[in-house]
Amino acid sequence: MELNNTLNPVIKFITIFFLLPILLLSCEDAEKKKVNAEEMEVRDSGIAELTPPPFVPKPVGNRPPKKLVINMEVIEKEMEMSNGVTYLYWTFDGTVPGSFIRTRVGDEIEFHLKNHPDSKLPHNIDLHAVNGPGGGAEASFVAPGKEAVFTFKALNPGLYVYHCATAPVAMHVANGMYGLILVEPAGGLPPVDKEYYIMQGDFYTEGETNEPGLQNFDIQKAIDEEPEYVVFNGKVGALTGEGAITAEVGETVRLYVGNGGPNMISSFHVIGEIFDKVYLEGGDMINENVGTTIIPAGGAAIVEMKVEVPGEYILVDHALFRAFNKGTLGILEVEGPSNNNVFGGKIAENDYNPGTSAEGTDDSGMPSEPIIELSKSEKMAQGEKIYTQRCLACHQATGAGVPNAFPPLASADFLNADAKRAIKTVKHGLRGEITVNGQTYNGIMPPQNLSDEEIASVLTYIYNNWGNNKTEVTTQMVRENR
Amino acid sequence: MKPITYFLLSVIFSLKVYCQTDSMVVIKGGKFLPLYGTSSEVDVTNFKMDVYPVTNADFLKFVKSNPQWKKSEVKGIFSDEDYLEYWEKDENFGKNRFPNSPVTNVSWFAAKSYCECMGKRLPTVNEWEYVAMSNAEVKDARQNEAYNKTILSWYETPSTYKNIVGNGTKNYWGVYDLFGMVWEWTYDFNSVMVSANSKDNNLYCDAGTFTTSDLMNYAAFMRYAFRSSLEGKFTIKNLGFRCVQDI
């Protein structure tokens, strides 16, 4: 005790005279950094490289701050939302999301916002990377056929959303007016092998999901926050098939992920991968070893992952009905030698029969209800509905499937060869490698919880469409083969 | 009659020759509450309004007799460089528009001058909004869902400036094309102006906190936002005008 008592003042002394200055110093450091950004001088000037999604401009590397001229154009135009569905998007540079802007701390930005003469509406831009009123919204307000120019200095490093902020703001955002601006720190972000630009958004159409034709904006659904589409990069399938992003085994992939909203928060996940690093909300704080990260509406995150094993990695909003029913699916295709050390794949398949039923009763016997047989036209009508709800998200409205991910049903040899197998597939699902029209697929189709009548209808619908062999599947066939 | 009377009559007559008098309808005034600019109801007195927006054919006649408003003659302080941008020549509005399509790419100064030439004037924002709140059946349809959807859908239809006037639905007053064709100049378009210094600026992000979710405000927001983006010399592809007259 005595010792403690004598030591205490000493400790206090040490604290005050040694630690406090360190604390003060570190505060000063932080303050200095910001002041420095404000006072950084620019010598060179140049025009910013802007890229459409999913690409990003070259890293800033070691270049000093400079005057950066950004030319961006607002274009209102009709584009595809989904197969056979179009929408009048309001865009920055003709894409949703708008062009990716890459700059660095200390850059002086001269922003030229042009509004195409064909535009119906005035627009503007609010960049979350700006320190100033409205993020530039008022300074950039521009009528159709005009150009507004404003300047700002990039002070805070990070990944930021930009969006249109003209009344009614939510509607301008709902129509696709958002994008990302990256402000790199001095010296740039650490280099990686691949970088991509992905942005989620929710859309509100008058027609239900996948109702074909040009769809108008539905303000009531937007107010009720009931989107018909939740997608990556502006449309269903922007990042699948031809649009899939790619990497080689062993590479580190960095994704700049934003969320335009206007309403939905994204639970961003890559199936089969772990984010080695997440720059939370696009800021300085780095979290490591993350499965799913949250990206708020109007916010962003930078995620990095080293890809060790070849294959297809599915990007999703892990609010999964959005992914499978409303469009938030993307594919990261990784090529290279397999790596059994990291992923051994399936090495055995065994029977498992504990001899009891989980539900306590054994219902595996034949049901005794009478068979209901619908007419073919009734089956076609019912089948179309079921197809739209259960099958279309993967196999697509035209039965074309998604290359390398979901096999086609249109003119599909695998399907036409064996109706009994088709029945079993719908009832019990299917996993493992199959070959359809010469292409191999190795995925999982989940079992569908449908009645025998419903299976007969949906298969009859599929067999009597898209060049298939017009088999009429009966409820009796389903019952015998399920 | 005295010579002076002949002279006056001939002046009036010549005005009628050079300036077309379009069909107009009487708008019976009343009180209403606009979305912006006031928190109380405003009075609109009786007036007459053009049934259709001013067309290319109308404007061609106007510039022929008022050469200072020809494409090549217009003064820089009264118009920007896109004045009558689609016109091929001073007296030819080009192949891509119909004579009875609305004239666009005209400045506020030009529109005002046209109306004055006709013995008319540009409508005020309140007058325009008062007439525009009607549908085919009632004077004030602003709470009507179909009315609002029709307006909103125009924003999603490209190139409506190429359409022919009078093809839409006649509204309660007998006026055509207030929606679905082009924006229209108003006399005091910038009276509810968004200034860069204004702190209570409802046309920007504050709109999100505006205490209403009425559909009507979404459509109206866009009109007020559009007007506030304008300057008197601006000429825009989707912006035309019509005139009104005091009774």
Q: Which residue of B has its CA nearest to A147?
A: B229
Residues of chain A with pLDDT under 70: 1-35, 359-369
Nearest Cα of chain A lies from the Cα of B101 at a distance, in angstroms, of 16
pLDDT score recorded for residue B78:
94
Tokens of B247: 């009774």
For all residues of chain B together, what is the average pLDDT?
83
For an interface test with B, the pick among A128, A166, A225, A263 (most B C-beta atoms closer than 10 Å) comes out as: A166
Q: Is the Cβ of B208 closer than 8 Å to some Cβ of chain A?
A: yes
| Whether B201 contacts chain A with CB within 8 A | yes
- Taking contacts as CB-CB distances below 8 angstroms, the residues of chain A near B82 are 117, 145
pLDDT at A35: 55
Of A58-62, B161-165, B223-227, least confident by mean pLDDT is: B223-227
How many C-beta atoms surround the C-beta of residue B63 within 10 A? 22
Q: Do B226 and A139 touch (CB under 8 A)?
A: no
The enclosing H or E element of A68 equals strand A67-82
User: Over 60: is that where the pLDDT of B170 sits?
Assistant: yes
Q: Quick one: pLDDT band at residue B203, thresholds 50, 70, 90?
A: very low
Contact yes or no for A121 and B226 at CB 8 A: yes
Is the CB of B153 inside 8 Å of chain A's CB atoms?
yes
- pTM for this structure? 0.75
Higher pLDDT, B15 or A270: A270
Q: Is the pLDDT of residue B141 over 60?
A: yes
8 A C-beta contact, residue A160 and residue A180:
yes
Task: Look up tokens 């191999």; give the residue.
Answer: A440
Residue of A nearest to B199 (CA): A133
- Where do the H-state alpha helices sit in A297-343? 320-321
pLDDT value at position A373?
A: 83
Q: Are strands A67-82 and A108-115 parallel, antiparallel or unpaired?
A: parallel
How much is the pLDDT for A479? Answer: 87
Count of positions (residues) in chain A: 482
Nearest to A143 by CA among A113, A163, A99, A177: A113
User: What's the average model confidence in pLDDT over B219-228?
Assistant: 86
Taking contacts as CB-CB distances below 8 angstroms, the residues of chain B near A138 are 194, 196, 201, 204
More confident residue, A165 or B195: A165
Tens digit of each residue's pLDDT (9 = 90 or more) over B18-33:
444 469 999 999 999 8
Reported in sequence order, the residue ranges of chain B that DSSP labels E, i.e. its strands, are: 24-27, 30-32, 42-44, 47-50, 183-184, 239-240, 244-246
Q: Which of A32-41, B73-82, B224-233 has the lowest mean pLDDT?
A: A32-41
pLDDT at B71 exceeding the cut of 80:
yes
**pLDDT, position B6:** 53
The ipTM, to two decimals, is: 0.80
The residues, ordered by sequence, that sit 6+ positions from A243 with a Cβ below 8 Å of its Cβ are A54, A233, A237, A330
A223: contact with B, CB 8 A cutoff: yes
- pLDDT of B13 reads 46
